[in-house]
Chains A and B, each alone.
Chain A
Amino acid sequence: MALTNSDSLRFFAPELLLTAGAVVVFLADLLLSKAKRRPLILTSLAVLFAVGAVLLTIHASANAPQSLFGGLLAFDGWAVAFKLLCFTATAFALLMATPGPELPKERTGDYAAILLALSVGMSLMASANDLLMVSLGVELVSLLSYGLAGFKKGARRSAEAALKYVVYGGVASGVMLFGMSYLYGLSGTTSLGGIHAALTGDLGRAGSLALLTALVLVLAGVGFKVAAVPWHMWAPDVYEGAPTPFTAFLSVGPKAAGFALAIRLFSALFGGSNLPWAEVLGVIAAATMTVGNLAALNQTSVKRMLAWSSVAHAGYLLLGVCAGTAAGHSAVLFYLVVYLFMNLGAFLVVDAVARRGGGERLADYKGLSSRAPAVALSFAIFLFSLTGLPPLAGFVGKFQLFKALIDRGGGFFVGLAVIAVLNSAVSLYYYARIARAMYLDSSTDGERITLPATYPFLLGIFAGAVVVLGVAFDGLRGATDAAARALGAY
């Protein structure tokens, strides 16, 4: 049964705390002099850790999933897992924010505050159980992301990225809201559970058609958030134009929240109906990974190549959504955890190389193995993990996604698995192009790259996680399975 508003507050404490933290950091940023803003990052990190601890305590003490604020939000293992994932992504994004050309020193306060507010949005997306909250969460995350995409004042690329993002985002949100209005019209309620109950079973010809329209329209909104084809156009430009630490965050945090939302939304809305929604999602997944991988093949900018690779990975992740089983959902969560480490790591390397010695072009990576052996080695680990080579974590993630498809059975799903594995082979080509530049080509300038201590520290954490999770993943698998089961069936 849904909890009353006052009872719900206890479970909403993490979000309240985060909001308070964001406000405090914003205000402090205004009040403090420019030189003293550096500690704001540490303050934000402390807030995030506190919030994470509070969340875990509440989760440990709460029994059974709770429904908050009269059913607007859900508090279950699924939401908690994704919240923790998003908070971790935010924490790393804060740690990665070493002042430099991408992030001016005096603006780190802004950056931290926006990231904290973004975590509130992602947290809402992960637990939204009502169309209103879905829309609210998506808008909150989108609006703040627009701001961060255009964070580099005066940089043309950054401004272009932000504008593109706003226009695309605005259209996508509008389309999604339009789809939701159909859903409301069909069921007379905005609560996901209520819609599920109203739309289960045979709806008749007209009803099915209306629901199919709604599906496609809602898909547009979600597809925009996770950068799935054909709503991916913004991704390469935004990823390339935005400050690298934020690009890294954007490719992981909001994407994870988008998948948390997508899975809850789709299994609630269409799980009971006889619509071919798994097939629709499957075709989108196949198109997304194929387009992403093919477009990545010929990129000369490493950052843009990784942006396209993120599109391709959205495709792999959609496979788990389309399988529609608890195993598929668990695989999505597992992959997102792994993806967090390898993609943040990859973008951190891009940041490191751009910081010392210049650009983001492939040519700038020539001979990196002799200029910065540790950076090159960790980048190679991230790239081959993204390809899905064992014994790295990326392989285990893909393994579970493909397994979910084959377990589902049937020619369509097996066909999808075949397309997916062939895509992995294609993706090797461009990942290996980077590895080749780093290891096989000799550098144009022999200067060694020296970096601030945060870089080796973070790269060590990311690379270590990718290697360890590739060999010892039983624990994480158990946790993601539990989270997927907690989502339950509608």
Chain B
Amino acid sequence: MKLLSAIVFLPLLGAALVTLSSLLPARLRDNASRAIALIVSAVCCALGIYVWLTFDPHAAGMQFVERVTWIRSLGVEYFVGVDGLSVSLLILSTLISFIATLASMPFWSREQPTGLAQKIPGYCAMLLLLQTGMSGTFVALDGFLFFVFWEVMLLPMYFLIGIWGGQRREYAAIKFFLYTLAGSVLLLIAIIALYQKSGDQSLLNRLAEQSPQAFQRLVESTLHHDAATGSWGYLLGDGTFSDKTFNLLAWARTGQAGLFDLAGAFFLGFTFVKVIWVFLFIAFAVKVPMFPFHTWLPDAHVEAPTPISVILAGVLLKMGIYGMLRFNWAVLPAATLNYQRVVAVFAVINILYAGLICLAQKDLKRLIAYSSVSHMGFSLLGMAAMTDAGMSGAVLNLFTHGLISPLLFLVVGVLYDRAHHREIDGFGGLARVLPEYTGVMALAFFASLGLPGLAGFVSEFLVLSGSFAPLPWHTALATISVVITAAYYLWALQRVFLGPLNPKYQGLGDLSWRERLTLYPLVALIILFGVYPAVMLGLIDPGLHEFVRTLTAS
């Protein structure tokens, strides 16, 4: 088995093993499934790091490619590979999955409400299945395959929130499920439509007439003329001809050559690209989540158990932005330029509106959930700017936020495990009893509010500096959030850790070794990327800047 397939399918194999282990006697069964989950996610994390080390950022195109024809009659392939963008997110997803699995340990051993204690194998199987979906989404280079992995994530997430969540878990789970499904059905239509248009002979012929140079480049890189049928089409990995394609790279090349822009009215009088762009954008905006599709997120985060919040914030939110870059930006660049300002406006609303909501939160987890919404706005802003720095910042923000928000959820989880509530006003003076914990929490807060020297600062700075030239007013407005963010974090810090100690919490114990094991790797990485972001930027920049050049050229 090749490397990427191993990362994607080992968790699936693990889930199958866990399901089999439910035949064992109860005690053995629980420990066996825990062990399987932990070993599999550790192996995947190691493989992710290996991919990172062997990935060559300066080589053009996709690396670690695997290509097998899956459904010949539709031209669907099992086609996976990574570039700088997806490799950074793949590493993130394997790392966060491993940390979430580690963090699930107390969750497993803690006394469960009756009826749930016997469901440990179920939890492990779902967690592993979720990992398959996440890694698969980041490496898929075939539209059909991408959609399958995209949807595979929904079910485990639904059950993980719905079965193991908090008080209002059922409501939160179904809300998450419905929102994301409603978004992804639009994605399905867009994928089918792009597939259909990719083999539209009259469009291809018109492209050849109108811009022969672009068409010639396409012929060299992507298109293939089939002598038997006399039509243009694409070659599958095994050399057979297919008149249409799901290949994301082929879509990107034909899209950048302007093929889809030639298609006329599609739906309700709007042109093809406009409709498809909006469908794709909504589908991914739900996942980001972008205002006004964000309301599932606070509920899902608050009700989900801590490790699942970690995965939600650390990996799942990144898929929205990743999808936009892979589909909207890469395949429909002209439409993206067209909608640039709209995206920027939504980005600013996300940043400011979610920031203001944070000021009013009473629940720590809800505060962090909304701050995630606000931070994802920065990625949107950087993408909208379409400059080198803006784009680097946007993608780096995915990575840094993917480290910081899991840390935030973990530290809140630590407190919740001890105090069994998350009311910001219910604490006070904790710094005296929990000095080490206070330190980690303060570091996480400062990282999130963008203190120089920590990871969050680098990406925010890149986004703001990169988007100032093309979008000065939007950027200026977004900068206000620096103050808002500082306000809600410092205020929360003050209420929880400073002031007189709430006597109820006199006897709280500080961090345990297992908690340190989950927290400190993240702390170390946040400091590393704050001081020396070149580690990650070196990985993503070459490919990304090339991408920006093709976008702005087209």
B115 at the interface (CB under 8 A from A): yes
Q: Are A402 and B192 in contact (CB under 8 A)?
A: yes
Q: Are B266 and A440 in contact (CB under 8 A)?
A: no
A384 at the interface (CB under 8 A from B): yes
B326 at the interface (CB under 8 A from A): no
- Kindly provide the distance from the CB of B164 to the nearest chain A CB, expressed in whole angstroms: 10
Residues of B within 8 A of A373 (CB): 22
Q: Could you tell me the distance between the alpha carbons of A384 and B177 in the complex, rounded to whole angstroms?
A: 12
Q: Are B163 and A440 in contact (CB under 8 A)?
A: yes
B152 at the interface (CB under 8 A from A): yes
Residues A411 and B182 in contact in the complex (CB < 8 Å), given A390-B147, A406-B192, A432-B174: no
Q: Are A389 and B155 in contact (CB under 8 A)?
A: yes
Interface residues of B in 101-133 (CB under 8 A from A): 114-115, 118
Residues of B within 8 A of A417 (CB): 189, 192
Q: Are B155 and A384 in contact (CB under 8 A)?
A: yes
Give the interface size class of chain A: 35 or more
Q: Which of B73, B192, B193 contacts A399 (CB 8 A)?
A: B192
Q: Are A418 and B148 in contact (CB under 8 A)?
A: no
Q: Could you tell me the distance between the alpha carbons of A432 and B174 in the complex, rounded to whole angstroms?
A: 8
B196 at the interface (CB under 8 A from A): yes
19 cross-chain CB contacts under 8 A: A390-B148, A402-B192, A403-B196, A406-B193, A406-B196, A409-B196, A411-B265, A411-B269, A415-B267, A418-B189, A421-B189, A424-B181, A428-B178, A429-B174, A432-B177, A440-B170, A474-B71, A474-B73, A477-B74
Residues of B within 8 A of A439 (CB): 159, 162-163
Q: Which of A402, A409, A473 contacts B71 (CB 8 A)?
A: A473
Residues A424 and B266 in contact in the complex (CB < 8 Å), given A429-B178, A477-B73: no
B274 at the interface (CB under 8 A from A): no
- Kindly provide the distance from the CB of A440 to the nearest chain B CB, expressed in whole angstroms: 5
B483 at the interface (CB under 8 A from A): no
The interface bits of chain B over 264-282 (1 if a CB of A lies within 8 angstroms of the residue's CB, else 0) are 0111110000010000000
Give the interface size class of chain B: 35 or more
Residues A428 and B181 in contact in the complex (CB < 8 Å), given A390-B147, A399-B188, A439-B163: yes
B186 at the interface (CB under 8 A from A): yes
B151 at the interface (CB under 8 A from A): yes
Q: Are B196 and A390 in contact (CB under 8 A)?
A: no
Interface residues of A in 104-141 (CB under 8 A from B): none
- Kindly provide the distance from the CB of B115 to the nearest chain A CB, expressed in whole angstroms: 4
A27 at the interface (CB under 8 A from B): no
Q: Could you tell me the distance between the alpha carbons of A389 and B118 in the complex, rounded to whole angstroms?
A: 27
Residues A415 and B174 in contact in the complex (CB < 8 Å), given A406-B192, A440-B163, A474-B72: no
Residues of A within 8 A of B335 (CB): none
Q: Are B178 and A425 in contact (CB under 8 A)?
A: yes
Q: Are A389 and B151 in contact (CB under 8 A)?
A: yes
Residue in B169, B188, B196 whose Cβ sees the most chain A Cβ within 10 Å: B188
The interface bits of chain A over 386-399 (1 if a CB of B lies within 8 angstroms of the residue's CB, else 0) are 00011100010001
A188 at the interface (CB under 8 A from B): no
The interface bits of chain B over 148-168 (1 if a CB of A lies within 8 angstroms of the residue's CB, else 0) are 100110110011001100000
A414 at the interface (CB under 8 A from B): yes
Q: Which of B170, B185, B193, B265 contacts A422 (CB 8 A)?
A: B185
Q: Which of A391, A403, A415, A478 contacts B192 (CB 8 A)?
A: A403
Q: Are A432 and B266 in contact (CB under 8 A)?
A: no
- Kindly provide the distance from the CB of B287 to the nearest chain A CB, expressed in whole angstroms: 14
A245 at the interface (CB under 8 A from B): no
Q: Which of A384, A403, A442, A477 contacts B114 (CB 8 A)?
A: A442
Q: Are B170 and A390 in contact (CB under 8 A)?
A: no
A436 at the interface (CB under 8 A from B): yes
